[in-house]
Amino acid sequence: MGRGIRKVNPFRVAQKAFRPSRPDLIVDARVRKLQVLRAWAGIVVTVAVAAVYRVTAPKELASERFGDAWINVLILTCVLPLVVGGFVVAARPPNRGAFARRLRYPLIAVGAMFGSMFTFVLAAVPDLEGVRDAAGPVVMVPVGVVLFLWMLPFTLYGIVLSLTNVFRTADIHELVPPLVSVAASWVMAVVNVFDDSFKGVPNLLAFALILGAPVTVSALAYYEVRRLRLLHSITLRNTLLR
């Protein structure tokens, strides 16, 4: 009974869906800690800036930060196929085929994320209000409990894991996450230039915040790639068989 409950624990299921699990995956504990630190540091800084420079109610502030995190996920999913596709195409056989077969792992993570978000859309979209009313409290109350107690923690934890693990792209190859994260962070910086993410924040601070994320991610990616080269003799050239 206890083991069965652990198997359906939303945090445990999220880990299975969003964490890389390739048996021969090289895991660098130092890089891993830096990745987690970078993800949480970004969240803390953006929340602190929004709280100080914007007159925002706590509920609205939480909604805005969730929206920012979701935009990051959307941008990541847009950049991911471009970078991963280029990586696979650039590789020579037999590595090209091996990398292509591993694409199913990021697809599982992306599908799980958008599937979980879609359930909230179905629960809130106005066009389905009649269907929800017809179902009545006998159906909607249990559904609401499941959404709040299981799907919500699964989705929130999934967003953090998706941003930290770059949608399990390490299951394709260890070099893919740094490549995707660098591309996505710079795209996000360009998006922030043209939207109101830092409205009310002094220009100099806003500029530092916009560049802070991509510069930090790029530095971490360089450190990660360098350790792969020095400790494991993995380079982009020998990975692509070029």
Answer whether 106's CB lies under 8 Å from 169's CB: yes
Instruction: Tell me the average pLDDT of the chain.
Output: 81
Give, as one character, the DSSP assignment of residue 92. P
Is 1 a residue whose pLDDT tops 60? no
Which of the residue ranges 37-41, 94-98, 153-157, 214-218 would you say has the lowest mean pLDDT?
37-41
Please give the pLDDT value at position 185: 84
Q: Which amino acid is at 201?
A: V
What confidence tens digit (pLDDT) does each residue in 149-197 have? 898 899 889 988 888 888 999 999 999 999 998 898 888 888 878 876 6
Extents of the domains making up the chain: 36-239
Tell me which of 79 and 36 has the higher pLDDT: 79
Cβ atoms 179, 83 nearer than 8 A: yes
Q: Confirm if 158 and 112 have CB atoms less than 8 A apart.
A: yes
Whether pLDDT at 206 is above 90: no
Residue 40 has pLDDT above 60, yes or no: yes
Best CA proximity match to 95, nearest among 20, 172, 181: 172
Cα–Cα distance for residue pair 236/175, rounded to 1 Å: 7
Q: Side chain identity at 34, as an amino acid letter?
A: L
